[in-house]
Structure 1
């Protein structure tokens, strides 16, 4: 199996950019640090109108993906972008790609020359996790059938909650979640190193099934691009899309692309990277890949790169690690804001931690 640190692991979007924008309260002079991943969050954060965004990742493939998407925004109109990504169908994808690759720097051009099969299939759905979600959605469709259409077409939240309780939140669903929560499944089948830090399967099952139950009563699944991936297996132009792909935001994103700087760096070394200082941090769920010691090392790097009062937004997936006592007083979590953001987040599976930083 390909090395997780060098392959394309995430290519679409499985987070809710509106949450980061609400948490970070970006100001026009702000310099924002964002983990690259699929490139969705750096692009979404441009809607906050920051002065600069520095996107970092220790995986060069994820940084190349962001460079590729930036070139596509520059080369194509909105309709062409969705077709090139694979969100809509077209027989002209490689023709569209010829316009995109003409804008790539030489090293990026060479990187994508060896991955033309993924481009031809539509890069949006070609990542490791996108393939896993697509397989999971196929299994769900076999079992639930038209119930998925009913779930996504529910006229009210009350109806959606009832459909979820009556036709989804059952023994089959709980067993599937428990299976997917086992460390061996993540590390051996998916090849996900974060599996090493998963909690007990029973605890994971209780947490995740509870989060979906709450979400079914809180917002429409048809308005969640992550729920769409979970149950449909792919995005479509007529369904929920991340902020940067919504048509009303296309031109705003396009004219702000030069504000993104991409670097290969890790959080632990951020203070010595020469990239700082930062006013805001979009941290995704880096804790999923950390022991307690590594997690604290990352926070020391973040604090070394932060301006006083810098805002942060962190996502917590399955590893509920917290900063050690020596750091906790410098990482001021706004519990009320974090709870409100968690409840509203359309990505369903995350707890949100948001607050401010005191570097000294």
Structure 2
């Protein structure tokens, strides 16, 4: 009891000291004792240096995350030289010891202008017995050290308190090694105006821009303590360095105080990439030749990434943030594309409905193929990549940035995690330590844009109900579960998912589930309701019109044959997932199996590459990607049911067919699925140089694949010019006759 009272009194005393120094004392006159900045710091910190760490844990958020991120982006983990600018009491260095042992650093410098805080730091280091740390009570803009260059420079809630921040950042630029990392965590406010003309350099816009009220309230509040939240400090960091990672967040415990975590590098670090920007093959600079002079660029489409790069160089700006990422998967995209607004910063699909096993059965991928497919949730892309002889290149295209964020996360997991963690995340859909994995193991392998998304939503996504209860289509699954509960079908659904024989499965379906699920009331109010189709299932009006006169019959024709095709418990992971919210080891996508994992991560002994290295993600329309690929470079395009969404009276279909024709080589194939047995746009393909053949036509009572969601699957093959001319002439002649 005595110890408890003592601890309480000590904590209360610390709070009182903190409140006095932060909220009351700044409004009193200050007595000068030395240089102005040092005087200000000492007046603020001298009486609270001894309780600084105890009172800042709630106020100064993101410090540990910043150090973890910085450590994960270092190219080496031994013989490092680190300068912690404004390091204060040395708490950062003490925490870093749990990430990278302080003893493994060749040298550590703590630079701070406050003697009181530096005294606390010196005592702390002596207690740990660290002899490789030097504490410098000097100005951050002019301090000197023995080394010419250092591997790591950090600013932890210090830049906002340094008046000469321009000089300080310039000094950091001179000190940082060409392969080094600079990291900052601090309070800060931004508005759209502060990023004008350099949006592509800032690493994403999630939570970045604040309202007028929030910007001005927090700026005025903190200036009373001579802490400056104006945007100029962060802007100058983003101008003098390249942005590797940028995270914008709020201290929710103290009224949503805005703060940011930022990781940067020398803005010319990847200068050699200029010669690898390829305008012939793809937007991604990494698919280009090592020397751009080796290829003929005449009549080549210019990539958006190349255009942005040239524009930045002309303004002496850093490269777009995408160019500073470690991995080569994500192709440059413009955050301000108005077409992204329709998705409201969320993905629609948490898993992919199309059956990739059928894709391979129909198209027979091989190592000479260059494949383009719609990303969706990326399950199809990973299936192609884990084949024994995967395509040499796989382009994943989706206009929704968040669908590509999901695929990018999956790729990062295969690059960095053990299979057991991958299974937890994408097999079970849940994992407890997501944030730690993201910061410590995955962050270096995802783009800044994807990092922002998963820092904001990741923990919630992989907790509670899990990954497969996210995305817009979760409402359909939730509604289905609600109906099962309302109709008393839950026990029968569980039995359906555990059947050992087809006879058992058919009996439960036909006698228990089907009569209740497809009764007139449920069928009319839900399945046949266009609002339900679009909002819950993502079926637009144009596609619904292609399903025939009765949407309810279409759904019955979809589900009925599934029951007689294969066991849901063992060989239909699509429906098992929708009913149970997870996969099983024996019933899951190929990429989640041990064999699939080994295939994806296996490196070619000659090139050192694995299937992951040949994937590129485009966040754009199919048309734009088709036209910016090298003409004739694709052998296969898989566009799912995409064209069902088009208006038959519009020009979208012909525009896409012509763009696709430009990207496909002769005899290149396009595979598509449709809600109609004979979709109207097949004629558009045939009129523009394609031979179109159905790979499967669904008849009532029969399934064409394990999902059976579509009425047909088609393969459209691009003809050479002479063959197309002969076919057209023959068609014209027959019409004349």
Q: Same fold (TM over 0.5)?
A: yes
Gaps in structure 1 of 5+ consecutive residues: none
Q: Which segment drifts farther, 347-356 or 116-125? A: 116-125
For residues 308-360 of structure 1, the C-alpha deviation after alignment (integer angstroms, 9 at most, x for no partner) is: 2122322224797431634335443333x324898341123123423241254
1:150: which partner in 2? 495
User: 1:181 Cα deviation (Å)?
Assistant: 3.4
- 1:32-111 pair list within 5 angstroms: 32-48=371-387, 49-85=390-426, 87=428, 89-98=430-439, 99-111=441-453
1:167: which partner in 2? 512
* Count of residue correspondences: 356
2:458 aligned to 87, 103, 116, which one?
116
Give TM-score, length-normalised by structure 1. Answer: 0.87
Q: Secondary structure at the match of 2:672?
A: strand
For residues 164-200 of structure 1, the C-alpha deviation after alignment (integer angstroms, 9 at most, x for no partner) is: 222222254254344233222344x449472454137
Distance in 2, Cα, partners of 1:318 & 1:6: 31
2:486 is the alignment partner of 1:126: no
1:220 aligned to 557, 560, 567, which one?
567
Q: Which segment drifts farther, 95-104 or 52-61? A: 95-104
2:714: which partner in 1? 354
Distance in 1, Cα, partners of 2:539 & 2:560: 28
Give TM-score, length-normalised by structure 2. Answer: 0.45
1:19: which partner in 2? 358
- Structure 1 residues 57, 319: closer, same or farther in 2, change over 3 A? farther
CA RMSD of aligned residues (A): 2.9
Q: Quick check: 1:134–1:230 contact (8 Å CA) kept in 2? A: no
**Which one has the bigger helix percentage?**
1
- Structure 1 residues 177, 202: closer, same or farther in 2, change over 3 A? farther
Q: Secondary structure at the match of 1:55?
A: strand
Q: Secondary structure at the match of 1:338?
A: strand
2:599 aligned to 252, 256, 265, which one?
252
- Structure 1 residues 29, 142: closer, same or farther in 2, change over 3 A? same
2:528 is the alignment partner of 1:181: yes
- Structure 1 residues 324, 104: closer, same or farther in 2, change over 3 A? closer
Q: Which segment drifts farther, 119-128 or 50-59? A: 119-128
Distance in 2, Cα, partners of 1:340 & 1:191: 20
Q: Quick check: 1:4–1:192 contact (8 Å CA) kept in 2? A: no
Distance in 1, Cα, partners of 2:686 & 2:347: 34
User: 1:89 Cα deviation (Å)?
Assistant: 4.6
Distance in 1, Cα, partners of 2:510 & 2:417: 43
Q: Which segment drifts farther, 93-102 or 306-315? A: 93-102
1:229: which partner in 2? 577
2:554 is the alignment partner of 1:198: no
Q: Quick check: 1:331–1:357 contact (8 Å CA) kept in 2? A: yes
Q: Quick check: 2:671–2:714 contact (8 Å CA) kept in 1? A: yes
2:558 is the alignment partner of 1:211: yes
For residues 97-129 of structure 1, the C-alpha deviation after alignment (integer angstroms, 9 at most, x for no partner) is: 332223212232223222234444244542111
1:290: which partner in 2? 646
- Structure 1 residues 236, 324: closer, same or farther in 2, change over 3 A? closer
For residues 56-103 of structure 1, the C-alpha deviation after alignment (integer angstroms, 9 at most, x for no partner) is: 111112122211111111111111012234716543233233322232
Task: For CA contacts below 8 A with separation 6 or more, give which structure has more relative contact order.
Answer: 1
Distance in 2, Cα, partners of 1:64 & 1:275: 25
Looking at CA atoms only, which structure, 1 or 2, has the larger radius of gyration? 2
1:323 aligned to 666, 671, 681, which one?
681
Q: Secondary structure at the match of 1:353?
A: strand
2:589: which partner in 1? 242
